[in-house]
Every structure is written in structure tokens, then in C-alpha cells.
Amino acid sequence: MKHLLSTADLSRIEAIELLDTAEEMSLVSTREVKKLPVLRGLTVVNLFFEDSTRTRISFEAAAKRLSADVITFSAKGSSVSKGESLQDTAQTLSAMGADGVVIRHSGSGAPHRLATSGWIDAPVVNAGDGTHEHPTQALLDAFTLRRVLAGLPASGPADGARGLALDGAVVGIVGDILHSRVARSNVHLLTTLGARVVLIAPPTLLPIGADTWQCDIAYDLDAAIAEHSFDVVMMLRVQQERMQQAFFPTAREYARRWGLTDTRARALPAHCAIMHPGPMNRGFEIGAAAADSPRAVVLDQVANGVSVRMSVLYRLLTGQSAAAGGREGQS
């Protein structure tokens, strides 16, 4: 694996190895010194052309815990605002000796272009590109879900999840599928790991061709809850900043028909976990009671993001994939 651009590129074995290595990386948080020396002397560049808080900080923390030097580039206030192209920016970073590049861009396909252009000779990690994909978010969602299914703590050090896939799990993904890179990455990864995915959204918020994806599609959230025994329901943020037209009548109407209200949360199976990639719009796509429920693992997803991104950077920058490599790094 040279780059991580899409979860569709991951085989079942590769995905499980990344999750298993993330389990090893989670043990770093229990150490007095929360660092491993495995990337000492290497430089990771976080190239963010789009605003981000959770993803940017998570990648910074992951690289620093692996002892890498970190350079965070923000398009705002840089030469990009003066018209510098992606090519020129990439070649500048290459000249500075970047060993790995994490890129977040509003243009779908930008990470793939960077990885295949020859502008930079370093592993590229897609941290979210337009409405295309967000592979590390899907990996941390899968990491969290398999712990929940195994009856383990959703975050922090835990034994027992290594080697597990998600065979038989039923996952509902609800909301703005059309503009969600998280939904696309999760459909690819979760089905690769054996889960059954049900997309639930108004017809206007489903992309053209979604009926060809390896998932089921429903338009009525109440009917879907009644029909399926969900192991997890993942609510998606309505990305109004990407909407140039009306996709639903009003925010109140959307919340009434597709929001995870308190009543709907109570109707979910007792074992069903509640996820959200964040940031949450409380009272819109998710109610306050559901967001703060003991079944909500939203903050666990954030915590697990560091371990998963450590695993990805370790795999790409060292070429090692087995969880044993993580154990060696801690010795």
C-alpha cells in the first residue's frame, strides 16, 4: 500500500491489519511518555486546503506520537491565496523533504491527482476530498464499531478486538448522503468487512448511481428502524454550505422526518450504538438526548481517530502492516 486514497482500494486483510495495528497504537495512551520512536527523523506535512478541526488535530497528534516532525500547511494566509497551484505547492513541499503528505481539499480527486502526478515522491493520505471520500474517518468508525460489537470499551486500551471483522453487523447511515464523503468511504469499507449497510435519506439527498452501491436504500427512517435490527445508526451532518438549491422544505421538516429524535432513539434496539462524524447540529439531524445518550460513541470516535491515523502513518511511512510491528515499536 503506497497511498491511502480510498477505502475501495483496501482488501479485507489490509483493512483488518490497519485496525489491528490501531489497537496496538491505542496502548501508547497508557504510557507515561505517550510517544513511539518509529517515525523519528521523518517529516509529515498536513496540507489542508479546507477548514478542519478534528481531522487536522488528530493527524497532528498521530504524527507527533510517532515522533515525526510535523508541518501543518493552511491555504488561508499562504501563497495559495495568491494563486499558487496545487502542483507548485506540492513541488515546494517535496523540495523541503516531505516524507508523507496528508491532504484535505475541497476538490474531489485532488489527493489522487497529487499521488499519481509525480509532483511529489511520498505517501499521500486522503483526509477528505470534496464529496468523494474520507478513508481514515471510515477506518475509525469501523474500529469503534467492532469494539462495540465485541462488548469492549469503545475507546482506550482494550483486548479482544484484534482480528475481528464486522460480519453480520447491520449499519444504518442516515442523512445527507449526497454531499457526504464519510458515507461513501463507509459503504466501501463496512461491506468489505462483512457488514450490511442501509442508507436512509430523502431521495433528493441520495447521489445518482447510489442504487448500484453495495448497500440497501430506504427513504423512511421510522420504517427502517422497524424493519432492521441495527447494530449502529450513524447520523450525518446536513452540509448546507455545499447546497446551492433546496433539497428539503425546511429544517423543521427535515428534523421531523429524518432526524434522530428522542422518540426514534428509544425505538432503536437496546444494543444499538449511535455514531456521528461531527460536528453535530443538535436539534436538526440529532436530538440532544440521543447525542448525550450512553449509547452515543461520538467522543469515542474522536479519541479512536488518533490511534487509527497513527496506524495509517506507520503503515505508509515504514512499510510495515502487521500489528506485531506496533509491539516492536513499543519495546
The per-residue pLDDT for 109 is 94
Contact by Cβ (8 Å): 101, 120:
yes
The per-residue pLDDT for 159 is 81
The answer to whether 256 is a known ligand-binding residue is no
CATH, domain range 135-301: 3.40.50.1370
The answer to whether 55 is a known ligand-binding residue is yes
324, 325, 327, 314: which is closest to 66 by C-alpha? 314
66, 21, 68: which is closest to 162 by C-alpha? 21
The per-residue pLDDT for 69 is 96
The residue extents of the domains of the chain are 7-133+304-330, 135-301
Which pLDDT tens digit goes with each residue over 297-306?
999 999 999 9
Cα-based angle 305, 182, 279 (whole degrees, multiple of 5): 65
**Would you put residue 156 in left (φ > 0), alpha (ψ -120 to 50) or beta?**
left
* Torsion sign across C-alpha atoms 236, 305, 186, 45: positive
Contact by Cβ (8 Å): 173, 200:
yes
3-state secondary structure 72-87: EEECCCCHHHHCCCHH
The answer to whether 279 is a known ligand-binding residue is yes
The per-residue pLDDT for 44 is 96
Contact by Cβ (8 Å): 215, 188:
no
3-state DSSP assignment of residue 197: strand
Which pLDDT tens digit goes with each residue over 221-241?
999 999 999 999 999 988 755
The per-residue pLDDT for 329 is 46
CATH class of 7-133+304-330: alpha beta
The per-residue pLDDT for 14 is 97
The answer to whether 179 is a known ligand-binding residue is no
The per-residue pLDDT for 327 is 43
How far apart are alpha carbons 302 and 314 in whole angstroms? 19
The per-residue pLDDT for 149 is 94
Contact by Cβ (8 Å): 318, 294:
no
The per-residue pLDDT for 244 is 57
The answer to whether 64 is a known ligand-binding residue is no
The answer to whether 132 is a known ligand-binding residue is no
The answer to whether 237 is a known ligand-binding residue is yes
78, 68, 69, 5: which is closest to 48 by C-alpha? 78
The answer to whether 137 is a known ligand-binding residue is yes
How far apart are alpha carbons 177 and 187 in whole angstroms? 11
DSSP state of 134: -
Which pLDDT tens digit goes with each residue over 31-52?
888 899 999 999 999 999 887 8
- Asked whether this chain's domains 7-133+304-330 and 135-301 adopt the same fold, the reply is yes
The per-residue pLDDT for 274 is 97
Q: In the chain, which stretches have pLDDT less than 70?
A: 75-83, 240-249, 321-331
How far apart are alpha carbons 137 and 105 in whole angstroms? 15
The answer to whether 134 is a known ligand-binding residue is yes
Q: Calculate helix-pair angle for 323-330, 12-26, nearest 10 degrees.
A: 20
The answer to whether 192 is a known ligand-binding residue is no
